[in-house]
Amino acid sequence: MVGDWEPTAALVRVYPMTTVALPPLQLRWLASAQPLAGQSAVAVATDAAFEAFYRAESDGLYRALSMSLSNPELAREATDEGFARAYQHWRKIQAYDNPAGWVYRVSLNWARSRLRKTKREVITDEVRDVAVNPTANPGLTEALAALPMEFRSVVVLRYLMQWSTAEVAQALQVPTGTVKSRLSRGLEQLRSSLGEEAGQ
């Protein structure tokens, strides 16, 4: 499982600092021409790469986590937490095939732990203000929330994030077969909840 997690050079996603325009005020710590006191040029470059990654992935991960957790508030915290941890190990994580997958998993685990810790484990039964687009399938939110967490995560990553089965497996640190199994069972439940016929 973990062996799969080691970065593969050909698949490494690069978040170059040069591709991102940095707002000078908000990101003073990045955009300053001179490093801040105590901050080396290497640190500045590292921060810039992290910033690029953050900008590219944070919103999508937040939304995926919101759906996975059915709890936008918790997802917001979890996203922050996941990225904070990613920052701590950014030099290593940025070389991964899919750093966003790492952040997703860490965030999800953190959220689940938080829920467990606070004894509010009824993740699937609580749907908290997940915005519903009236043009979308109205029953989707409820149907998705009714899925067990592990199924929901796989569905969200596969169909919202459009990650491949291998990427989902890598992100969740489960075998590919497990992803396929969960995907199949999750879709089956969704079909049932939404009144769809299998294969329809």
Partner 1 sequence: MDDFERRLANDLRRQADAMPRFAGNAEVVARRGRNRRWAVRGAGAFGALAILGGGVGIIMTAADDTPDEVATEFATVQVAPAPTPTPTPTPDPRPLVIPTPPVPAVVPEDPTAASLVVATGWGVGLVRDTGAQYAPVVCCQDDEPPWWNQTGASDTDPAVKLDKGAVRVRDDLDGGLVAATRNALYWVSADQGLTSQSPQLLATVDQVNTDPGDTETSGEQAQPAAADETNPSQAANSASLQLWDVAEVGGQTKVLYSVVQLDPNNGQARTSTLRAATLAADAAVTEDLETNSWDTGDETWFSYNGASWLPDGGYMSLKTQNGACGWIELSGPQGSATDLSAPFPKPADGEPCNRFIAAAAVDDAGEHIAVSEIEAGIPQVATYTLDRAAQKTRVFLSDSVEPEDAGKWSELDFGSGGVLVGRGLGLDPAQWPTADETVLVTNDSREATPIGYIGYVSWPRSVISTADLEPVDVQGPLYFGARVFAEAPDQPNTPEAAEEPAAEPPAAPTEPGDPQPTAGAEDEPEDFRVPTGAGVVTIASDALTGTDGCARSATTPPDDEPVRYRACIGEDFANAAKRLDAAFGTNPDTFAPRSDPSQTPADTTDAEGPDAAITPEPQTRKQAGTFTWQSRTRQITVEVQDGTVTSVTSVPVGALSSPFNRDLTIGQVLQALGAPASIERTDGATAAVTLRYDTEAGTVAYTFVDTKTQLPPLEGSFDAGTAAYDDLPIVAYSAS
Residue 21 to residues 5, 52, 142: CA-CA distances in angstroms? 31, 9, 39
Residue 95 to residues 24, 50, 118: CA-CA distances in angstroms? 27, 12, 34
Which of 11-19, 57-65, 163-171 is the region at the interface with partner 1 (rule: CB under 8 A)?
57-65
How far is 18 from 190, CA to CA, in rounded Å? 42
Report in angstroms how near the CB of residue 108 gets to partner 1 at its nearest: 9
Of the pair 33, 117, the CB lying nearest partner 1 is at 117
How far is 2 from 161, CA to CA, in rounded Å? 22
Q: Restricting to residues 103-142, name those near partner 1 by CB under 8 A.
A: 105-106, 109-110, 112-114, 116-119, 130-133, 135-137, 140-141
Q: Restricting to residues 20-39, name those near partner 1 by CB under 8 A.
A: 26-30, 36-39
Of the pair 18, 200, the CB lying nearest partner 1 is at 200
Of the pair 1, 125, the CB lying nearest partner 1 is at 1
Specify whether the CB–CB gap between 30 and 52 falls below 8 A.
Answer: no
Q: Restricting to residues 170-189, name those near partner 1 by CB under 8 A.
A: 173, 175, 187
Report in angstroms how near the CB of residue 40 gets to partner 1 at its nearest: 5
Counts of helices then strands in the chain (DSSP H, E): 9, 0
